[in-house]
Structure 1
């Protein structure tokens, strides 16, 4: 939790932006549609009441209690993972901070969407493949940085070492 306080302002700004855009769309633009980049990227608001992308295909991933539990677990993983990283590195790197800030913002936005919106108000349609929102962009940024850093430093930190850190007394 110590590191959540250090970055709370940045995380809150990202959350406020995501939720503010959704409020504007829900009030004034919910019935609007337009091309942003040809037929590749479109503005097309849609309320995803299946709670997750996976919920469109697997019923259990549309259960509110299941997805909230998963969401809380992911938030806990971000907090504990970043705490573990900081226990090993006193001075954090910008890419790792980016993972933490954007990952936490995306996860908290996801939690807010489920609790207060009854699902996600998605509005960025990528071709005919899928539709997403700003929170999904935050999560994608965190994932990209995570995979690059993970491959680059795979020998420095192990899952076993992380689990020991999490369960130490």
Structure 2
């Protein structure tokens, strides 16, 4: 009985070791991380200018944007969402996006981090929100583009 337990324990240990090592080896170099942070900075600047066209240009033509309001497919739908919802209805005005981690995944990067925003809700006044996000990025020429973006809200207060 003890031998079976030891064999099972060794098997579990071996099965968890390769993914852990792979995760460590997939971290991107400092220059790539800085480029991802520059993308986040460009996103913030365009967002805070309420420029839906520039924001949409950071996304792939066939990008997917997963939000609490629903899933939006394609650059045009994403541009319309920003223009109508974020800038037209809730008047977002001070977004800050922080990149906490960038991991290589084949030909793509997965970037995760946190965001915060202040916006004006007509019925509730000034709202402060924050949450987490993840981006799937791909390289197009010399530019990183967002293939998929997902965010959630972890805290919202007046």
Could you say whether these structures have the same fold, taking a TM-score greater than 0.5 normalized by the shorter chain as the test? Answer: no
Higher percent of residues as helix: 1
TM-score by length of 1: 0.26
Task: For CA contacts below 8 A with separation 6 or more, give which structure has more relative contact order.
Answer: 1
State TM-score, norm by structure 2: 0.27
